[in-house]
């Protein structure tokens, strides 16, 4: 090595070591984590405002992909919320992916102190059985004045907040047919 080369290398090395950045500055761009996720529209389940949300799942629905929810945010096209969410609605991803989330129906029998797993079919048929029995037991055909009322005061129905207007209409129709007087839905919102 010639003396001149050694001098040059020393000066350059010293400069780099002391913080002169000799490479062109490049930045690390953070990649958009939802760039190619599958977007699914849904409704926030919490309150009666029923804000629109978009659920982002991993993958593009290909046959070999098991989708997983990676992000949830507001739906800008939803007429009620137009993309905004409250702090509770903004946590929906954690609500969906939480290990304590109920994924299957459970039943607690009368007098029991614990919940049991039950299949959807059994759950629906047992609810139907209860409705029929309760209606038969508490049905009021005529009131004290002898007027025909056809009430089932032993049952009450409350609609969920994510139910659509169409679903609320059906619920209303069903409980009207049963004669249930105590009922509420959130079709008003």
Q: Which is nearer to other proteins, 76 or 160 (CB)?
A: 76
- Nearer Cβ to other proteins, position 81 or 171? 81
Report d(CA 150, CA 161) in Å as an integer: 28
Residue 162 Cβ vs other proteins, minimum distance, rounded to whole Å: 18
- Return d(Cα 76, Cα 99) in angstroms, integer: 29
Size of the chain in residues: 189
SS (H, E, C) 47-108: CCCCCEEEEEECCCCCCCCCCCEEEEEECCCCCCCCCCCCCCHHHHHHHHHCCCCCCCCEEC
Closer residue to other proteins in complex, CB, 31/148: 31
Least separation in angstroms between residue 65's CB and other proteins is 21
Query: Taken in order 13, 16, 22, 27, is the CA torsion positive or negative?
Result: positive
As measured in angstroms, the least distance from the Cβ of 30 to other proteins is 4
Residues that bind other proteins (CB under 8 A): 3, 6-7, 10-11, 14-15, 18-22, 24-33, 35, 71-74, 76, 81, 83-91, 93-94
Q: What is the DSSP string of 4-23?
A: HHHHHHHHHHHHHHTT---S
Residue 33 vs 130, nearer CB to other proteins: 33
Decide whether 10 or 164 has the Cβ nearer to other proteins.
Answer: 10
- Closest approach, Cβ 165 to other proteins, in A, equals 23
């Amino acid at each position: 090595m010639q003396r001149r080369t050694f001098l040059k290398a020393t000066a350059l090395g010293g400069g780099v070591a002391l913080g002169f950045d000799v490479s062109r500055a490049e930045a690390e761009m953070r990649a958009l984590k939802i760039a190619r996720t599958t977007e699914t529209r849904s409704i926030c389940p919490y309150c009666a405002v029923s804000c629109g949300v978009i659920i982002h799942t991993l993958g593009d629905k290909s046959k070999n992909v098991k989708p997983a929810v990676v992000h949830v945010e507001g739906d800008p096209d939803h007429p009620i919320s137009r993309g905004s969410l409250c702090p509770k609605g903004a946590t929906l991803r954690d609500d969906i992916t939480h290990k304590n989330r109920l994924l299957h129906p459970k039943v607690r029998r009368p007098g029991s102190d614990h919940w049991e797993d039950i299949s959807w079919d059994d759950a629906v048929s047992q609810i139907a059985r209860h409705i029929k029995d309760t209606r038969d037991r508490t049905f009021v055909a005529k009131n004290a004045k002898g007027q025909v009322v056809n009430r089932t005061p032993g049952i009450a129905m409350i609609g969920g907040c994510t139910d659509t207007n169409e679903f609320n209409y059906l619920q209303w129709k069903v409980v009207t047919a049963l004669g249930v007087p105590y009922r509420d839905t959130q079709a008003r919102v």
